[in-house]
Amino acid sequence: MKRTFTLARPNLAPLALAVFAGALFGAGLAVSGMADPQRVRGFLDLFGTWDPTLAFVMGGAVVAMAVAWRFQKGMVKPWAAPAFALPSARDLDPRLVGGAALFGMGWGIAGLCPGPAIADLAIAPAQAAIFVMAMLGGMLVHRLLPAVRAKPPR
């Protein structure tokens, strides 16, 4: 008996949409100045030489997300996924506050956060690579230390 194997054709539409969205996001970060550590530090320097231009970028992002949330409420499912993956937690706990503070301190010191750092790998790879390696190291430490992980609900 002769067996034949056929390869299933993968649905490339979700991958193509993800690549397009990522490229658009990265281009937006680069064009807006969010991937420029000096501009970010200038924005965060409220009592020095404050640069307010990123406030307009963030304001535009808030408006765009407000519109997106309104559309999402009327959708049964997303265009390129079987279901929405929305956060369910609504409470502020010490881990969330501590993580937000750590994120903010890192953003202020480096002038980068994860999205712009990835975009900067294409713009200024030497400087961004140091940040990205440290970020990946932090993610690895988080995975390896059981005390850092969330405690299961009682």
Q: In whole numbers, what is the pLDDT of the chain averaged over residues?
A: 85
* pLDDT for residue 148 is more than 60: no
SS (H, E, C) the chain: CCCCCCCCCCCCHHHHHHHHHHHHHHHHHHHHCCCCHHHHHHHHCCCCCCCCHHHHHHHHHHHHHHHHHHHHHCCCCCCCCCCCCCCCCCCCCHHHHHHHHHHHHHHHHHCCCHHHHHHHHHHCHHHHHHHHHHHHHHHHHHHHCCCCCCCCCC
Residue 150 has pLDDT above 70, yes or no: no
pLDDT of residue 6: 66
pLDDT surpasses 80 at 101: yes
136 has a pLDDT exceeding 90: yes
What is the percent of the chain where pLDDT is above 90? 16
The tens digit of pLDDT for each residue in 2-23 reads 666 666 677 777 788 889 998 9
Which tens digit of pLDDT belongs to each residue from 32-50? 888 888 888 888 888 988 9
